[in-house]
Each structure stands twice: as C-alpha cells, then as structure tokens.
Amino acid sequence: MAQYLIEFRFQSKRIRSYIKGIIHELNKKFRVGKRKHIPHITLIGPIVTNNEKRLVSDFAKICSQTKLMKFKGKGFGTFDNNKVVFVNIVPDEKFNEFRIKLSQKLKEYCKLPAHNKRKEKEKFGYHSTLAMKLNANEFNSIKNYIKNKPAPDFTQRVMRVTLLKGGRILREYDFLQRRLLNRKQSLNKNITRRSKTLLKRFIQGNKQKSKVKPIIRKKEILSKIKSWLGLK
C-alpha cells in the first residue's frame, strides 16, 4: 500500500529562508542532515491506505470546512529520546482542531502512527525539524550550540496544507482561494502569487479593523456619557 503525509510547508519566503539557513548552518558545522530540505510541519503521517480516492476526498472536504488558521514559532526544542532538534511550533486552536478532525476521520480506514491520534497540542508536539537521525555526540553538540542562538519568534498564517504521496505533492488545499490544487497547480507561480496577494489583503484588513474598533468604542462611550448627562 502507498504511504502519504499531510504537512504544512512554509510559504513565507522570510521564514522559509530563516529555517533553511539554520539547517544549512547545522549541516555545515556538524556535518549532519540532508542537503535539500523543505521546511515544514508534519501534521499527519506516515499514512498507509489503499483508498487514495477517499483520502483525497476527505482531505479536501475537511480543508474546505476550515477557516484560516495560524501558528507561532517559539524557540528551539529537542526530542531527547529520538535525538531530534527543531523549532517549536505553537498552533492556534483552529489549527489543532483541524489536525484532530483529519486524524479522527482518516483513522477509520488508514493506518496512522499512535501519536497522530493525540488531541492535546502539547502531547502531539508540533515542530519543524532542523536535524534528526543524530548520534549522541552530534545531538548533545547541536543542543548546546542552539542554546546560544537567538530563539525563533514568528507568526505564520496557514495559506496551504499539502497531501504528499511518496514525498511528492499529490494535492494541496489553498485556504485563500478555497480550492483543491493538483501538483501542477500547486507549483504554478501565478496561482501562488494570487494566494499571497489575497493573504496580504486579509492581514491588512484585520489590521484596519483593529484600528477602527478603539475609535468606535470611544464614540460609544462619549455617546453614553452624553446620554447620562442629558446632552444631545
């Protein structure tokens, strides 16, 4: 049976370059890891199933029912038992609920790792890997090295979530354009540019709303004071 993964791939050029830069730095200094690495957050997988059609359908359906999500990158972290070094990820509630909903649905007919079924954010351990498959000396050296580096601190909106088959994009859901993309569409620069434009408009719209709200509240308070004083 084929194996699949569901993951978030960093779309922000700034954050993607930042994470790739740290990975390259660790690879060069400690001679570990792969040369080519796509910064990502694994949400579910590896998934084993012989029902690809249903997998794609459920992935698309649950994505279409989900509003725009976000998360924070907050500091470095390690899995001491597995000797993994990573950027710690703190998802918002919608992001965590999305992952839970997907795993609950897929476990009906897919084979999933045990940790995928955990509902608590902390127990699932959201992360973006920087180095893995390390021996004890490599792990301890990198662990001590990152303690002296400035800790990651960023926020990212989830523009897309990717369904992979054998490490290649099978489908990708775009939360801004509200559509399921095939591999060719997901790699299309014009489609991606459109999504990034929509994301910028969304963020700018939220900033404008946050500026307007205090003004509205101030007018409401003045209106109430005038009413109490019997003034028009």
7-48 per-position pLDDT tens digit: 999 999 999 999 999 999 999 999 886 656 889 999 999 999
What distance in Å separates the CA atoms of residue 7 and residue 5, rounded to the nearest whole number?
A: 6
- Residue 211 has, within 13 A of its CA and on its CB side, a CA count of 6
Give the tokens for residue 192: 């991606």
Q: Are residues 226 and 128 in the same domain?
A: no
Structural domain ending residue among the three candidates 187, 205, 223? 187
Q: Are residues 176 and 203 in the same domain?
A: no
34-15-73-190 Cα dihedral, nearest 10 degrees:
-100
Q: Are residues 140 and 198 in the same domain?
A: no
- Give the total number of structural domains in the chain: 2
Q: Are residues 99 and 212 in the same domain?
A: no
Place of tokens 């800790």: 151
What distance in Å separates the CA atoms of residue 117 and residue 127, rounded to the nearest whole number?
A: 16
Instruction: Report the pLDDT value the prediction gives residue 120, as an integer from 0 to 100.
Output: 82
- H helices within the chain, ranges in order? 13-30, 52-64, 93-106, 121-124, 136-146, 183-186, 189-229
What distance in Å separates the CA atoms of residue 54 and residue 66, rounded to the nearest whole number?
A: 18
pTM of the model: 0.84
List, in order, residues 6 or more apart from 157 with CB less than 8 Å away.
68, 69, 70, 199, 202, 203
Q: Are residues 154 and 219 in the same domain?
A: no
Helix, coil or strand: residue 66: coil
Q: Are residues 122 and 222 in the same domain?
A: no
Q: Show pLDDT as tens, one digit a residue, over the chain (232 residues).
A: 789 999 999 999 999 999 999 999 999 999 886 656 889 999 999 999 999 999 999 999 999 999 999 999 999 999 999 999 999 999 999 999 999 999 999 999 999 999 988 888 888 999 999 999 999 999 999 999 999 999 999 999 999 999 999 999 999 999 999 999 999 999 999 999 999 999 999 988 766 665 555 555 656 656 655 555 555 5
